[in-house]
Structure 1
Amino acid sequence: MPPTALIVIDMLNTYEHEDAEVLVASVREALPGIATLIEHARASASPVVYVNDNFGEWRSHHGEILDAALAGRHRSLVEPVAPDENSLFVVKARHSIFFETPLAYLLGQLKAERLVLCGQVTEQCVLYSALDAHIRHFDVVVPDDAVAHIDADLADAALQMMSRNMSADVCTVKDVEFDG
């Protein structure tokens, strides 16, 4: 198995945006899977990289983003998946985890060839990130029980696109292995 990194997308969230309540319900369903992936990646010594939106706050320090999310209305959705002292952190400003971020360089330094994507939102940031990972020749894995959506129909279509058009392995959390 190629060297694998877990990418946790946009899970440090205050949930103070349009569609937040719809998203919160889906995050609650995906949260156990995301937490399990993080636990398994850490146990195998695979890199865990948090890539998080800065929400237009250009003082984008990862500690400030985490503190704001923990102070938000849905702290219970952040605490189980919060970064630990060994987690890596990349700030993004747009949908893709790669767009104008140092993530590709970081993954090269880690010698990662396979990315497990989890987090939110399936039909937005996860989809665009999977496409950008695919065109950069990474093997992409998306556990469908570890991604949250706003629109279930669009999320299903996005997962189909990732599988069919990007050769992503769309599976379940129990099927994901980390190489350490």
Structure 2
Amino acid sequence: MGKTAVIVIDMINTYEHADADLLLPSAQETVPAVTRLIDRARTQDIPVIYVNDNFGEWRSHHGEILEEALSGGHADLVEPLAPDERSLFVVKARHSIFYETPLAYLLTQLGVDRVVLSGQVTEQCVLYSALDAHIRRLGVVVPRDAVAHIHRDLADAALRMMERNMAAEITTADRVALSP
């Protein structure tokens, strides 16, 4: 196993979107596991990279995205896992964390060959990002308790697909091996 990075997908969120009412219960369950995973990574000097939707705000940067999420009605879901001064931040516009972002280049620069995908939504952004990571020959780990879903049945199917079709390791946040 080479170098690992923990990727936090779309957790800097105001939850003011069409599926928020379906996502919120799962996000509330997921935040403690994501927070533990981030804390473990930071303690072990493992890169933590936030890849977050810009919500169509093309003039936003990561600080503005974070400020807006922290001033919204669900700051309790953002504050525990907010980026620190060492965190890296990539803004995305579509489902995959790789689609037209500099993430692949960043991972190469960091010497990362294995990603731990956490965040939301399991059956959308996490699934598409896992496929794109697999295509790029990166090892993929998905802690099932650190990914939130909109539809449980689709999330379960997505996790099975990631494991079977993309050789992803499906585990829990506390069992993820972060370093060799």
2:54 corresponds to: 54
2:6 maps to a residue whose letter is L
Once the two structures are superposed, residues 2-56 of structure 1 have per-residue CA deviations (whole angstroms, 9 ceiling, x without a partner) of 1000000000000000110111110011111100100000000000000000000
- The unaligned stretches of length 5 or more in structure 1 are none
CA distance in 1, matches of 2:167, 2:106: 23
2:97 corresponds to: 97
Q: SS at the partner of 1:150?
A: coil
1:107 corresponds to: 107
1:175 corresponds to: 175
Alpha-carbon RMSD = 0.8
2:88 corresponds to: 88
Compute the displacement of 1:60 (Å). Answer: 2.5
Q: SS at the partner of 1:91?
A: strand
Compute the displacement of 1:122 (Å). Answer: 0.2
CA distance in 1, matches of 2:173, 2:17: 28
CA distance in 1, matches of 2:171, 2:178: 14
Q: SS at the partner of 2:142?
A: strand
Compute the displacement of 1:70 (Å). Answer: 0.5
Compute the displacement of 1:135 (Å). Answer: 0.1
TM norm structure 1 = 0.98
Q: SS at the partner of 1:140?
A: strand
CA distance in 2, matches of 1:113, 1:40: 19
Count of residue pairs the alignment pairs up:
180
2:135 corresponds to: 135
CA distance in 2, matches of 1:19, 1:9: 16
Compute the displacement of 1:169 (Å). Answer: 0.2
2:43 corresponds to: 43
Compute the displacement of 1:59 (Å). Answer: 0.8
- The unaligned stretches of length 5 or more in structure 2 are none
CA distance in 2, matches of 1:178, 1:146: 15
CA distance in 1, matches of 2:51, 2:91: 6
Once the two structures are superposed, residues 61-106 of structure 1 have per-residue CA deviations (whole angstroms, 9 ceiling, x without a partner) of 0000000100111000000000000000000000000000000000
CA distance in 2, matches of 1:126, 1:163: 13
